[in-house]
Amino acid sequence: MDTPQTQPIMDISTRIAAKYAHALTTGALKLTDTVAQRVTAPGSGIPCVVSFAPSLANKPERPRTSKVTPRPDPFADPCEDLTVLRDLHGDGQYMLLLNKFPVIPEHVLVVTREYRTQTEPLNAADLAAAHSLVSQLDTQTPGSRHVAFYNCGPASGSSQDHKHLQLFRLPAGFVPYQERQLDPQESSIYPPFAHVTVPLPLQPSGDDLASLYNSSLGTACGASTPSANAAKTQETDATTAPGPAPSHNVLLTRTFMTVVPRSAASTTVTDARGRAHVLGVNATGYLGLLLCKSDETYTALCAEPGLIDQALRQCAQPPL
């Protein structure tokens, strides 16, 4: 499967910026104010950005239950003020929408136009669309780097049931630990959780990306487990509807892909004073970007970054 074509009239970064400015003006979206601090998780060596967003304290979490209950689909008829493109690549497969409550400016969503479920694994078309968008934005905004991510399944930190990937600009100067992992001279990163990080070829096709993804997911989950075998052999054709995959996160930049199998969407860590802190973790946590909903948790993680190692380990699977 070929990589989707670039936008022919207006470059995609300009489209996103213009729609974002418009949505801010109309009130269709609200940028969530945050404070942030950079720390290094001492056990793993993972560089992190810990952020605190006071206004998220009252945001409801996905219910902690295995029971499936219908919920309104915000992507069924998206607000025009949040719609960057109703047909991302002119093939009728994806919409490009703005996140209504971003904590990073110009945070966008690549959403399937046909309803698909967030428990499905990614396919070649999904991966090609996301990687093409990341590559275009990196090229069109010199000095900036972007990441796409996917929260798959109930333990992944996902918040919507309609299949979508998310994409935003990395913090200025932030270097993901994955890049150090892929450096043969580097040996100071010890993630305390099962994961697979692979380098990407230049201009990979959707099939290239799907092959790497399926192989990584099977390896990360443990190739002997039934769920991993099922996910590894899923059909990658975008026209089929595969069954659910084991909960996992995917991180995708222009140069690498990381797959992290998950065991829980949130966890509780206890600081040196014996105070418990509940922390939700989605895919961005496994990039080193943590978002806290309380000042107490933010202060604890900044003062005791070893709590980050604990949280990432407790929400994932044991190291391979």
Active site residue 164: yes
224 has binding-site annotation:
no
CA 251, 257, 263, 267 dihedral sign is negative
Give, as one character, the DSSP assignment of residue 298. Answer: H
Beta bridge partners, 117, equal 162
Is the distance from CB of 268 to CB of 276 less than 8 angstroms? yes
58 has binding-site annotation:
no
Query: If you search the block for the tokens 């972007």, which residue do you land on?
Result: 146
Beta bridge partners, 252, equal 148, 257
99 has binding-site annotation:
yes
In DSSP notation, 94-139 reads EEEEE-SS-SSTT-EEEEESS--BTTSPP-HHHHHHHHHHHHHHHH
123 has binding-site annotation:
no
140 has binding-site annotation:
no
284 has binding-site annotation:
yes
200 has binding-site annotation:
no
17 has binding-site annotation:
no
282 has binding-site annotation:
yes
Is the distance from CB of 20 to CB of 26 less than 8 angstroms? no
Determine which one of 146, 164, 195, 248 is catalytic.
164
293 has binding-site annotation:
yes
d(CA 128, CA 140): 18
In the annotated binding site, the residues are 59, 99-100, 151, 157-160, 166, 282-284, 289, 293
Q: Catalytic amino acids? A: 164
In the annotated binding site for substrate, the residues are 59, 99-100, 151, 157-160, 166, 282-284, 289, 293
